[in-house]
A and B are shown apart, each in its own frame.
Chain A
């Protein structure tokens, strides 16, 4: 089992719709969770961080965390073509400083 798993996609949604990206992790002691966005040919940039169970909202983005189910998700409301990118889920694993990334989900927002 991979430490951090994501569906590679592509996930296609129409403009204005809600995009839902999912991630599961295997390390039960993990406490810090991140979503990064990566445009083609660019470096990962932080979108959201979440540390507690529940929802965290920032503009059009909502991160959801369920530690009991070892599940993290990212919702993007009112999706725009500019949201088309690969979204990487990242989790600190091993109780230390190693940030483990999922393989990413490619999101395509269609006009």
Chain B
């Protein structure tokens, strides 16, 4: 299996611009999670989906953040407008399938820098 795929791997943008991060979960997994990691706050859950439906978005910091999952193989995390404090590494993770279903597998992450 290819694992969780994220794009882009690096993104540098200017304050005020729209940023879209993309994620393809592992095939057959029915949960998808978006995390943000910073030195100050560690790894934080932003939102998660089950069967393409958003279940808990309480970690989304502001209305500037939105996430969608139009189908089982694709999700986006959008920041509009972006701010320098959004600079972080954003990870997507998925879980599910046969056997052990509660282990989360992480993608390589997107390192976002907002200037």
Q: Which residues of A does B touch, CB under 8 Å?
A: 32, 34, 42-46, 49, 88, 92, 96-104
Are B106 and A98 in contact, CB atoms less than 8 angstroms apart? no
Known: A88-B43, A97-B31, A97-B50. A43 touches B55 (CB 8 A): no
* Chain B residues touching A, majority SS: strand
Q: A43 touches which one: B50, B56, B102, B108 (CB < 8 A)?
A: B108
Judge whether B48 is part of the interface by a CB distance below 8 angstroms.
Answer: yes
Judge whether B25 is part of the interface by a CB distance below 8 angstroms.
Answer: no
Q: Which residues of B does A touch, CB under 8 Å?
A: 31, 33, 42-43, 45, 48, 50, 55-56, 91, 100, 102-109
A97–B100 CA distance with the chains assembled, in angstroms: 14
Total contacts A to B, CB within 8 angstroms? 40
Are A46 and B108 in contact, CB atoms less than 8 angstroms apart? no
Known: A98-B45, A101-B43, A104-B42. A92 touches B106 (CB 8 A): no
Are B104 and A42 in contact, CB atoms less than 8 angstroms apart? no
Q: Chain A residue with minimal CB distance to B48? A: A97
Q: Chain A residue with minimal CB distance to B3? A: A43
Are A43 and B91 in contact, CB atoms less than 8 angstroms apart? yes
A92–B100 CA distance with the chains assembled, in angstroms: 14
B56: chain A residues at CB < 8 Å are: 96-98
B104: chain A residues at CB < 8 Å are: 34, 46, 99
Are A103 and B42 in contact, CB atoms less than 8 angstroms apart? yes
A81–B94 CA distance with the chains assembled, in angstroms: 30
A43: chain B residues at CB < 8 Å are: 91, 106-109
Known: A43-B91, A49-B100. A97 touches B106 (CB 8 A): no
Name the 5 nearest CB pairs between A and B, nearest first. Answer: A43-B106, A101-B43, A103-B42, A44-B106, A43-B109
